Amino acid sequence: MPIRPGGRTRVRVYRVDAGQALARPDSLATEEPLEIRIETTGRAFRLAVTMRTPGQDFDLAAGFLHGEGVVASAGDIRRLAYCADAELTEEERFNVVTVTLRQGLTVDLRQLERHFFTTSACGVCGKASLDQLDLRGLAPVKDGPRVTPELLTSLPATLRAAQGLFEETGGLHAAGLFDTQGRLIALREDVGRHNALDKLIGWALQEGRLPLSEHIVLVSGRASYELLQKGLAAGLPILCAVSAPSSLAVDLARRFGMTLVGFLRDGRFNVYTGLERIALAEGPT
């Protein structure tokens, strides 16, 4: 049986204290490449390679394809499987996922090739990136829920308490899906912020929970354009981050009617767009 890589790796470290070095075991977050392939019209194509923490790889692949507009629903995916190529080693087989698309699903492979395999381009700007989302047919999110500041400030502690791998390794990002009562519905961890959210949305896609129009997502790092793009594709009205957003993330949230919360920690937060979804005791001053 091939050995599937785990989410943690045991290593030996030397802890130095008061000039003395003491050998001790430690746990690290595993980082391995995952190659995502799509199979359509009887042919398989290498789409992307991402560095990730092994675990929930099928969720990661499904969420990645959904965020990039390759699939719109679970029905667009006929099969998810690890690669069985004879030339791969046992370890490598669990680092390649092939997504077989449903028969008849049209995929513009030339556009995907330009998007994923080009390393630099001329004439690309933030506005062009936002315009591309319009061209994909992504619409502003629906009104969604109104939530209290107290509910939002309770989320980081709930997320942290559920981060089992982070507790062991201290080296993982997390994305948590919450309902409007502040209950944690699902959690995914990964060395990559984008991967954690892809795993979460991929799970929701396969569980038939999209769009996430009555939910909140909290991510453990900063809020980038890519994270907002994935949230928008999933119909998410409120995305919160414990750190800062980027300028383009704010532009995207404003353009598509999302509520973007940053620096959500220590009982307070900043609202960058979508203040109308926050049920304040008093209006802004």
Per-residue pLDDT reduced to its tens digit, 87-99? 666 667 788 999 9
Looking at residue 239, its pLDDT comes to: 98
pLDDT at 155 over 70: yes
10 — pLDDT class (breaks 50, 70, 90): confident
Residue bearing the bigger pLDDT, 244 or 107 = 244
- Nearest partner of 99 among 3, 216, 198, judged by Cα: 198
pLDDT over 70, % of the chain = 85
> What's the CATH superfamily of 149-277?
Cytidine Deaminase, domain 2 (3.40.140.10)
Q: What is the pLDDT of residues 247-271, one digit of tens each?
A: 889 999 999 999 999 999 999 899 9
- d(CA 95, CA 89) in angstroms, rounded, equals 10
Q: Please report, as a single letter, which amino acid is at residue 269.
A: F
The three-class DSSP label of residue 44 is: strand
pLDDT at 117 over 50: no
Catalytic residues: 122
Q: What is the pLDDT of residues 206-218, one digit of tens each?
A: 999 999 999 999 9
Token pair of 85 as six digits? 């190529």
Report yes or no: 208 and 220 within 8 Å, Cβ to Cβ. no
Looking at residue 281, its pLDDT comes to: 82
Please indicate, yes or no, whether the overall pTM of this predicted structure exceeds 0.85. Answer: yes
- d(CA 126, CA 248) in angstroms, rounded, equals 6
Q: Where are the alpha helices (DSSP H) in 207-234?
A: 225-233
Supply φ then ψ for residue 33, to 5 degrees: -75, 145
Q: Where are the domains of the chain?
A: 149-277
Burial 9-19 (b: 16+ CB within 10 A, else e): beeeeeeeeee
